Structure 1
Amino acid sequence: MKEQTNFRGALSKSEIRDLNLDLEDLHQLDSFDLKANDKKKGIAKSLIFTAIAIFIFFIPITINGKTDITFGIIYNGLMNLTGVYGLWFVTLITIATALLSIYGKYFAKSGKIYNYFHGDSMIHPLIYSIGAAFALLYTLDATTSLSGPEIVVGASTGGTVIPSIAVAVFWIILVSSFCMPFLINYGFIDLIGTLMEPLMRPVFKLPGRAAINALVSFLSSSSVGVLITNKLYRRGVYTEKEAVLVATGFSAVSVGFAYMVIKTAGLQDHFALVYLVSALMTLIVSGIIGRIPPFSKKRDIYPNGKVQTKEDIDNTKSSSNSVFKTGGNRAVKKAFLAPPLAGEIKSSLKDSVEVIPKVVTSLCAIGTGALILAENTPIFTFLGKLFVPLLNLLRVPNAADIAASFPVGIAEMFLPVLLIAEKVPVLDPQARFLVVSVSISQIIFFAETIVVMMSAKLPIKLWELVVVFIERTILAIIIGSIFMHILF
């Protein structure tokens, strides 16, 4: 265990670097002070770059009647600007990934391609090949006179995943990698984390900095939430257990996407109420999941092998300072000592380029495949029948009509409301509310979050994600039914 060291007097940047401190260890971060001029520089850097981060990720802007956060405007703008070319570029990435994975996994013995693919399982080249085939079939169908099989290129299968999710995730990862250093390098996370620690730790068993992940996910994208979690885990901010809990519990869908879900269910007149209750349900479910297997058995170990100690957890205050002063001091120190911005952006872009090929190719394969199963087989209808007794016990109206919407959420979070879309006029508002609130609370689905989590190599297994999806679904149904009876 590292002992906390307290240094007398203020230190210069060179003196701090000579000490070779781990600045993600908050005890070590609290153990020194900056010289007066350095502190002023740190305050200026923290305020300027934090303001940029807040503007990018949290401030909604209205352009031509459409309101979105700056981050959303940038990546949606790039999608619209590139259009067909962007679709073809992503398709070519999937084809290259499939071909290179076969060579790297089965034939190469060394080199960059071998290093990139050798950690994959033996079936990954097959998955990438299927993804490339789906992407190529859809793109040819959408941009040429050639027609692909409807089961692959239809609006409810490949037409949902490839242009709307895979291409979007490509731009989301690229844009977020450019913007992320502003958010995580200049003290904003440390300030918010210190302020939120008294709530996050006892309720969710997580450090306060996880609150930023929740905010970014709700306001931008679940993929961005997962990527930020992975970045902070690799930097030693989260333990294995914390990283998994944050990624699966706080990487919720954005407000904009939630509006589409709520509108499809015919509840747009109650948008604010439904969304806020769904967000509250998500937090309640996440608080429970951290206390039950399999995630309760995850290790409290940082990526460098260090075991989390009580001192690591009990870091809300340093000496007699207030929580706000402690958070402010941490933010200023982190901002002043942050590496050069250009280098951090370059490093972040490099990380994204390494992640993108596997993520988008897997999305095309797994997302489209899952929707094909949902649309053309009775598997989810059968699984839905398993939920009928629970729904009847909770006195949920239209139980038989909405039961299939709960298991289908593991394929794509928009599918539950699509399954009931044609029945909306005859379904009870209580039933529609439950479908919407549960789908928003589930978080884990193959068409995006599962693929991003697995490709980012978070310390999590696929079977654990499936088990936790089931747990989250059951808990959300129970909790949602309580709100359903109170509110509708």
Structure 2
Amino acid sequence: MTTSNKKLMNTLKFILGTTFGILFVLIPFNFSGTVDTILFYYLKVFIHSFDWLLQPILVLLIILSALLSLIDQLKPGTFIGKQRLMAKLFSTTPFYVVNRILGAIIAVMVYFKMGPEFLISADTGGAMLSLATQLSIIVPMMLLFQTFILEFGAMEFLGEFIGVIVRPLFKTSEICATSILSAWVGPGNAAIMGTKELFEQGYFTMKEMAIIGTQFATGSIGWIVVVSSVLGVVDQLGWIILGLAIVSVIVAFIGVRIPPISKYPDTYVEGKKVTQEVVKEGSAWNRAVTNASNRAGELTFKNFLNKIDNMSFYVLWLTPIIVSWGTIALIVALFTPILGWISLPVQWILQLFNVPEASQAASAILSGFADNYLPVILASNIASVETRMIVAIMSIMPIIYLSETATLLTSTKAVPKFLDVLIIFIQRTIISLPFVIIFVKLVL
């Protein structure tokens, strides 16, 4: 194949692969009144059709994860620790072994409906097992299909244009631009896993991984629609998305400049940055297309096979932790008065801006640390449209919640300490709330 033909093939590979990824993974369409991306919509149809089979399979996998990690802990040096993927999935610390066992116990109790109501109810353990079942399909598939967006040259292409913006605004390299967009538009959990993978490949520094995971890994467009619909403010969806975009930029601009993120090392994995041949001559468009085409030309089927590690990591490593932590968090939020106590500062801010039903809204907003659907549940009876719109935006803004993303951030080492996860949640909540309130009052 001549050089010109090779360049043409690489360019077509970049255009077709990236276009398919954007249309299939990122762009929302209307499916008979349901707004969602193609991938998300059909995954949800699949889950709905086969939930009766998927849930018991997941329970068995959670039990398997707990048993194998316990065996490895009690008897090191078995086949588990000698095989690379097995070691990655099941060789862990005593703390996480205990959490996996707890997750397995909760999953079994919920599935067979035996145990105290506060543990197995549809609002606690039942909600978490159902959520975990959905995510065990959605997140691995998102990780697989995001390959079309992240590895067919789109990162290099957009880096030439958006990169000049993300560096001064968010203190990240130009190559982070596509991951920032993908994290903001797509599912946050998949974005965190995808960012971890790119960090391990040497594309991002530790600080950049933390910035993308804590400042941009929001709920998907589909999730924003769900939240807006349940809270009865779907007619304000355009304003809600605009508000999220504006306030997200403001909060991220501030968040990357204060501890703990500002203190994270700006170093690559094992101190090595990925090496790429980058064209620097010519117009920005020429550089963007050439660099993107070169990247697409390097891609093989192995890029897709490499996703098996993180796909299995999510299901077997993280799902038991999500079930255990999420259930505990929901129990604390719904069955104790702790939430009312800790939400007082948020209530005072709401009252300062004369937001109606401030007490109920404050509890709803702070409950988001436990699970991002809790604010929707707790605010569903609020009468004020203004307040429901504020809660809708604030249920997505903080990004971090115990039932999933907090677990992902700590286990992937995007955020090394759990205390940092808590601090970042508080920072994003307190910084964003006044801006969200002002925005909602202006548009309404």
Q: Normalised by the size of structure 2, how large is the TM-score?
A: 0.91
Report the CA distance between 1:175 and its aligned residue.
1.3
Alignment-derived partner of residue 7 in structure 1: none
In the TM superposition, 1:135-214 aligns within 5 A as: 135-141=107-113, 147-163=114-130, 165-214=131-180
Q: Which amino acid aligns with 1:435?
A: V
Range with greater deviation from structure 2 (82-91 or 59-68): 59-68
Q: How far apart, CA to CA, are the structure 1 residues paired with 2:127 and 2:180?
A: 25
Alignment-derived partner of residue 64 in structure 2: 96
Alignment-derived partner of residue 343 in structure 2: 384
Report the CA distance between 1:439 and its aligned residue.
1.7
Report the CA distance between 1:414 and its aligned residue.
1.6
CA contact (8 A) 1:300 1:307 kept: no
Render the CA deviation track for 1:328-354: whole Å, top value 9, x for unaligned: 11111111122x22x222221233113
Q: Which amino acid aligns with 1:130?
A: L
Render the CA deviation track for 1:205-246: whole Å, top value 9, x for unaligned: 123443433443444311121122112111111110011000
Change over 3 Å in CA distance of 1:218–1:203 after alignment to 2: closer
Q: Which amino acid aligns with 1:37?
A: N
CA contact (8 A) 1:229 1:243 kept: yes
Q: How far apart, CA to CA, are the structure 2 residues paired with 1:345 and 1:386?
A: 47
Q: How far apart, CA to CA, are the structure 1 residues paired with 2:370 and 2:33?
A: 33
Secondary structure, aligned partner of 1:258? helix
Q: Which amino acid aligns with 1:159?
A: G
Report the CA distance between 1:51 and its aligned residue.
2.4
Secondary structure, aligned partner of 1:386? helix
Alignment-derived partner of residue 436 in structure 2: 480
Report the CA distance between 1:467 and its aligned residue.
0.5
Please, which of 212, 216, 225 is the counterpart of residue 191 of structure 2? 225
Alignment-derived partner of residue 132 in structure 1: 104
Please, which of 341, 354, 368 is the counterpart of residue 409 of structure 1? 368
Secondary structure, aligned partner of 1:68? strand
CA contact (8 A) 1:282 1:440 kept: no
CA contact (8 A) 2:13 2:152 kept: yes
Are 1:69 and 2:37 matched, yes or no? yes
Alignment-derived partner of residue 319 in structure 2: 360
Secondary structure, aligned partner of 1:292? coil
Secondary structure, aligned partner of 1:136? helix
Alignment-derived partner of residue 209 in structure 2: 243
Alignment-derived partner of residue 250 in structure 2: 284
Query: What is the Cα-based RMSD across aligned positions, in Å?
Result: 2.5
Change over 3 Å in CA distance of 1:330–1:320 after alignment to 2: closer
Q: Which amino acid aligns with 1:483?
A: F
Alignment-derived partner of residue 6 in structure 2: 38
Q: How far apart, CA to CA, are the structure 2 residues paired with 1:52 and 1:400?
A: 46
Report the CA distance between 1:280 and its aligned residue.
2.0
Please, which of 282, 287, 295 is the counterpart of residue 261 of structure 2? 295
CA contact (8 A) 1:405 1:417 kept: yes
Alignment-derived partner of residue 328 in structure 1: 289
CA contact (8 A) 2:279 2:290 kept: no
Q: How far apart, CA to CA, are the structure 1 residues paired with 2:269 and 2:430?
A: 32
Q: Which amino acid aligns with 1:48?
A: L
Report the CA distance between 1:155 and its aligned residue.
1.9
Secondary structure, aligned partner of 2:36? strand
Please, which of 270, 276, 281 is the counterpart of residue 304 of structure 1? 270
Q: Which amino acid aligns with 1:243?
A: M
Aligned residues: 439
Secondary structure, aligned partner of 2:257? coil
Q: How far apart, CA to CA, are the structure 1 residues paired with 2:33 and 2:347?
A: 43
Report the CA distance between 1:94 and its aligned residue.
0.7
Render the CA deviation track for 1:405-462: whole Å, top value 9, x for unaligned: 232111011212321222x22xx33332322222211100011211222333435321
Secondary structure, aligned partner of 1:304? helix
Alignment-derived partner of residue 442 in structure 1: 398
Q: How far apart, CA to CA, are the structure 1 residues paired with 2:361 and 2:271?
A: 46
Report the CA distance between 1:371 and its aligned residue.
0.6
Report the CA distance between 1:466 and its aligned residue.
0.6
Structure 2 unaligned blocks of 5 or more = none
Secondary structure, aligned partner of 1:172? helix
Report the CA distance between 1:117 and its aligned residue.
6.4
Report the CA distance between 1:119 and its aligned residue.
6.0
CA contact (8 A) 1:131 1:364 kept: yes
Change over 3 Å in CA distance of 1:431–1:176 after alignment to 2: closer
Q: Which amino acid aligns with 2:245?
A: A
Range with greater deviation from structure 2 (292-301 or 127-136): 127-136
Change over 3 Å in CA distance of 1:271–1:184 after alignment to 2: closer
Report the CA distance between 1:107 and its aligned residue.
2.7
Q: How far apart, CA to CA, are the structure 2 residues paired with 1:76 and 1:466?
A: 31
Q: Which amino acid aligns with 1:368?
A: T
Are 1:462 and 2:418 matched, yes or no? yes
Q: How far apart, CA to CA, are the structure 1 residues paired with 2:248 and 2:261?
A: 16
Q: Which has the larger radius of gyration?
A: 1
CA contact (8 A) 2:18 2:153 kept: yes
Q: How far apart, CA to CA, are the structure 1 residues paired with 2:89 and 2:191?
A: 25
Report the CA distance between 1:297 and its aligned residue.
0.7
Secondary structure, aligned partner of 2:239? helix
Q: How far apart, CA to CA, are the structure 2 residues paired with 1:362 and 1:461?
A: 16
Secondary structure, aligned partner of 1:406? helix
Q: How far apart, CA to CA, are the structure 1 residues paired with 2:49 and 2:182?
A: 24
Report the CA distance between 1:464 and its aligned residue.
0.7
Q: Which amino acid aligns with 1:125?
A: V
Render the CA deviation track for 1:181-201: whole Å, top value 9, x for unaligned: 322222112111222111111
Structure 1 unaligned blocks of 5 or more = 1-11, 13-33, 142-146
Render the CA deviation track for 1:58-101: whole Å, top value 9, x for unaligned: 23344455342122134223313422110011111111111122
Q: Normalised by the size of structure 1, how large is the TM-score?
A: 0.84
